[in-house]
Amino acid sequence: MTDVYRERESATLAAPPVNLCGDPKDNGEFLWDMARDCRERQIKAFWLVSLGVKGYLLVATDRIKGIECPDLVSGAYANNNYWQLAWQRGYDWFGQQAWGTIGLGVNAAHHRSHEQLHLHISKARQGTPGTVPGVKAQLDKAAKAGEIAKDWKGWSAHVVAVTGEDQSGNPQKRNYRAVHIDSFATINLFKALYDNVVAPGKTEKMEDQTMIVIEAGTGAADGFYVLNSSDKLPQGIGVCDSLLLCK
């Protein structure tokens, strides 16, 4: 893995753009009010975990509206590996609860319910026995067929169709850009998305993107699939709900 996607040793600490990231003085957004007012969490922690509708939410404790905040890519928050922490919490909590395959996801700006950065820690949809395979089974099959990129440079060109479910439980097939990685423990996934998908094409914006992480094979030892989609991608989608049981 190239060093460009590894977390930086120091952040710029520059004030993030208010229109894209929000203002610490904001109020009235439930998740931000909760994060700002929380009086009991680890010292200097940049995250907390809240119960979601299904599963949990890892919520940023700095004022960050969502995926579109540029300081997640390069700036004050680029060091904060929200994804790795979400995976660790999900693995610890759900690993012994027969929860099945764990997935993480963030929604596009115009699809989310809250204007404060939060990652869903949820169960990957298991499909319907005899008809639709589970999400992970579909991805494992696509990987064996060579349909999933093996490095970041190939991410944008490797598009796979994955059948999940809509909010009514009906099968929903959508396209996702997919890459397999061994680990994201020291990788800024927001930067990887920006550098390899958003910036090169210049036709999409970070605010349009959903990003999903699902463990591959038999578990974390076999790596992870990082998926990306948006409404701008043909047959794409801007939410992670189709693949994750989070609503």
Residues 201/176, Cβ–Cβ less than 8 Å: no
CATH assignment at residue 109? 3.30.428.30
- The three-class DSSP label of residue 240 is coil
For residue 181, with 0-12 CB atoms within 10 Å meaning exposed, 13-18 middle and 19 or more buried, which class applies?
buried
Nearest partner of 155 among 85, 211, 88, 96, judged by Cα? 211
Number of domains into which the chain is organized: 1
Position 7 scores a pLDDT of 37
Angle at 33 between CA 29 and CA 36, to 5 degrees: 140
pLDDT per residue of the chain (247 residues) written in tens, 0 to 9:
334 444 333 333 345 566 788 888 888 777 877 776 564 456 578 988 887 778 889 999 999 999 999 999 999 999 999 999 999 988 776 665 566 788 999 999 999 989 999 999 999 999 888 889 999 999 999 999 999 999 999 999 999 999 999 988 899 999 999 999 999 999 999 999 999 999 998 889 999 999 999 999 887 789 999 999 999 999 999 999 999 998 6
Quick one: pLDDT at residue 92?
72
Write down the pLDDT at residue 243. 97
pTM above 0.75, yes or no: yes
Q: Which domain holds residue 206?
A: 3-245
